[in-house]
Structure formats: structure tokens, C-alpha cells
Amino acid sequence: QYALTKELDILGIVRSYALETHDNQVALILEDFGAISLRDYCKTHCKTHRLDLQTFLAIAIQTAQILGELHQNRIVHKDLKPANLLINPA
């Protein structure tokens, strides 16, 4: 993941800053932009009420745009699911 994303400049892709080793384990240092997974967002917000159409479409359009840019860079996300989509509700 580090090798694939360190050179990408795509708005919406979490930036990879470094690959560190510690105690014989590897840690990927990623950008922190206050995001939560779409799965966690829906667990807390979608139980009390459904996503409004405007929010749903904003998430869907941004996801499609980001995936399109990834594909232009010959990268295919092989595990696309709400747990792997990060959003910043703010």
C-alpha cells in the first residue's frame, strides 16, 4: 500500500507518510484528517434516521470520482466496503 500510494496526489486518498519498523513489525504512517469509516458513521447516524439524499449522493459521487482517478493510475481497490471508506462528516 505504501509503494502504491506514496506518489499519488489524489484528493480523497489518505496520504502515506512513511513505512516504519518497530520490534520486527512494520507500521504504515498515514495522514490523520479526522475521518471515520462509513460503516461506523452509519452505525451511529443511520439507526436513528436514514441518510438524507444530499449526503448519500455527496458520498457516492466523491467515491466514484476517487475510484475513477485510482483507475486512471492503474490501481484497483480490491476490498471496497463501508469499513474501508473513510469520511469526515464535518
What contacts 13, CB < 8 A, 6 or more positions away?
5, 66, 69, 70
Active site residues: 79
Phi, psi of 21 (to 5 degrees): -115, 140
Amino acid at 8: L
